[in-house]
Amino acid sequence: MTAPTLVDFDDVVARFDPTLGLEVHVELSTNTKMFCGCPTEFGAEPNTQVCPTCLGLPGSLPVVNRTAVESAMRIGLALNCSIAPWGRFARKNYFYPDMPKNFQTSQYDEPIAVDGWLDVELDDGSTVRVGIERAHMEEDTGKSLHVGGATGRIHGAEYSLLDYNRAGVPLIEIVTKMIPGTGDRAPEVARAYVTQLRELVKSLGVSDVRMDQGSMRCDVNLSLSPKASGELGTRTETKNVNSLRSVERAVRYEMTRQAGVLDAGGEIVQETRHFEEQSGSTRAGRRKETSEDYRYFPEPDLVPIAPSPEWVEELRGTLPELPWERRRRIQAEWGVSDEEIRDLVNAGALDLVEATVAAGAPSGEARSWWVSYLSQQANTREQELTDLPITPEQVARVIALVGEGELTNKMGRQVVDGVLDGEGEPDQVVEKRGLKVVSDEGALITAVDEALASQPDVAEKIRGGKIQAAGAIVGAVMKATGGQADAKRVRELVVERCSAE
């Protein structure tokens, strides 16, 4: 096969209009699978999260997970879709060893959510409205491991090994309407859409949307039509686009590839292509001998789903603030710049800071603790910030102790260390580690007097009005109290004692 001729991107957009379409699969993080009571966690030993139903054993039957249905409806509502008042699951029939029943149970025909939109914000602040055709429920397949031949590749393998832990995990497929008119921004729009969709789904708490673990997967549909021709080109569907960056690259590559084919007088074949992460290119999948006919028919083992208007409204009431609106509100409340809020988001600290503020801390201190000291600790421990064993409430308590002068900043950090090391609540750490600012005035005055007496020349200078000389006395007092005194108060006392004499 000869390498495709790629046309320069600027040249492509000068002569062609791209039309985008995106299909995103989101794996729900429900406790159990779509149709059975097996766990959905990633990474378990093979075939240990299975039962007769998700293994497709003869006689087994599916029962729909209510939480999965509610998650699907909440995703639909967050995408401004209408919820279908009645719908059935269907069977999509095709043989494939990773699919235990050799049919996939899917709402393809009668999706639970239809006709919505998502406003996607681009880097320059402009907005593109992406139409949502539908969001529907289905089930994931098992995973295959190909042995022999090229490592892990299906081609040339001698045999395959199957693990059905993932089979039956609930999937929501979100399909956009065709997105025309994005021109040279098509790659950016595609990426921004997936980014924002990811954030939205995450904010609903229905999926961990980890593209690296496959809990969010994207297929990119793309076609080109000659400018002002008014006709829609033939589209290709690129699968395996499994990072945000890849989404952008896949769109860009298909645009340049398709333009090359068209320029050479060729025709675009409607086909499934696969994205190659390493080269950033796409390659054609195996051509099927016969066009696939999935012979959909209503799933007789499941009864229709008919969400009442009350149920829909109840779920609408559970929708959180949209993540980007929330960011805008927080930015205004805290008075921070675009850059600062972006840093917080990138550091994965926004939720933590907000929770810390909610627990009573000033936003400045909350941000500073999470972005600097706690981020450092996360780095050292090779943990995600969110996984650190300290709660926003505990951080807020440390901030309060420092603010009230009970602790110095340095002591505050020690308390945080104690909490991270499992020594208990901040107040317990203070107690156990004996971290208290010395605030007993009597003891302090004695210490100050002793320091003045041991450095009579310095004391003389202070009495003579040279207040800046007090530093040496303060230093001596701090040393004597093991650093536990409040330096500011010590300075006041030094000046007081000298003028009083």
Partner 1 sequence: MSADSPADPTGGVISRDEVAHLARLSRLAVTDAELDVFAGQLDVILSSVARVGEVAAEDIPPTSHAVPLQNVFRADERRPGLDQEQALSGAPASEDGRFRVPRILGEEQ
Partner 2 sequence: MSTDLTRLTAAELAGKIHAKEISAVEAARAHLDRIAAVDGGENGVHAFLHVAGESAIASAELVDAGIAAGTGPASSLAGVPLALKDVFTTRDMPTTCGSKILEGWQPPYDATVTARLRAAGVTILGKTNMDEFAMGSSTEHSAYGVTRNPWDRSRVPGGSGGGSAASLAAFEAPLAIGTDTGGSIRQPAAFTGTVGVKPTYGGVSRYGLVACASSLDQAGPCARTVLDAALLHEVIGGHDPLDSTSIDAPVPSVVAAARRGAEGDLSGLKVGVVRELGGEGYEPGVRTAYDASLRRLEKLGADLVEVSCPHFEYAMAAYYLILPSEVSSNLARFDAMRYGMRSTVSSGGGVASAEEVMAATREAGFGPEVKRRIILGTYALSSGYYDAYYGQAQKIRTLISRDFEAAFTQADVLVSPTTPTVPFPIGDKIDDPLAMYLNDLATIPTNLAGTAGMSVPSGLSDGLPTGLQIMAPALGEALMYRVGAAFEAARDADDGGPLIARVPEVAP
The partner in contact with residue 45, picked from partner 1, Zn ion, partner 2, none with C-beta cut-offs of 5 to 8 angstroms by kind, is partner 1
Distance, CA of 230 to CA of 411 (rounded, Å): 69
Partners of 120 in the β-ladder: 128
Smallest separation, CB 35 to partner 1 (Å): 9
Q: Which CB, 51 or 319, lies closer to Zn ion?
A: 51
Smallest separation, CB 100 to partner 2 (Å): 7
Q: Which residues bind Zn ion (CB under 5 A)?
A: 36, 38, 51, 53-54
Partners of 25 in the β-ladder: 173, 217
Cβ–Cβ < 8 Å for 33, 40: yes
Q: Which CB, 60 or 80, lies closer to Zn ion?
A: 60
5 backbone dihedrals φ, ψ, rounded to 5°: -80, 125
Smallest separation, CB 159 to partner 1 (Å): 5
Question: In sequence order, what are the residues at sequence separation of 6 or more whose Cβ sits closer than 8 angstroms to the Cβ of residue 112?
Answer: 69, 72, 73, 76, 83, 84, 87, 135, 136, 137, 305, 307
Angle subtended at Cα 273 by Cα 79 and Cα 115, rounded to the nearest 5 degrees: 20
Smallest separation, CB 1 to partner 2 (Å): 22
Q: Which CB, 16 or 35, lies closer to Zn ion?
A: 35
How many other CB atoms are found less than 10 A from the CB of residue 166? 22
Strand 272-276, strand 236-241: pairing: parallel
Q: Which CB, 53 or 356, lies closer to partner 1?
A: 53
Q: Which CB, 45 or 501, lies closer to Zn ion?
A: 45
The partner in contact with residue 103, picked from partner 1, Zn ion, partner 2, none with C-beta cut-offs of 5 to 8 angstroms by kind, is partner 2
310, 315, 318, 322 alpha-carbon torsion, rounded to 10°: -120
Q: Which residues bind partner 1 (CB under 8 A)?
A: 30-32, 36-39, 45-52, 54-55, 57, 63-69, 86, 88, 94-99, 104, 141, 144-146, 148, 154, 157-164, 239, 272, 274, 285-286, 288, 290, 293, 297-298, 300, 302-307
Smallest separation, CB 301 to partner 1 (Å): 9
Cβ–Cβ < 8 Å for 166, 36: no
The partner in contact with residue 304, picked from partner 2, Zn ion, partner 1, none with C-beta cut-offs of 5 to 8 angstroms by kind, is partner 1
Distance, CA of 29 to CA of 74 (rounded, Å): 14
Smallest separation, CB 345 to partner 1 (Å): 30
Smallest separation, CB 240 to partner 2 (Å): 21
Q: Which CB, 102 or 409, lies closer to partner 2?
A: 102
Distance, CA of 164 to CA of 143 (rounded, Å): 6
Cβ–Cβ < 8 Å for 304, 103: no
Q: Which CB, 144 or 414, lies closer to partner 1?
A: 144
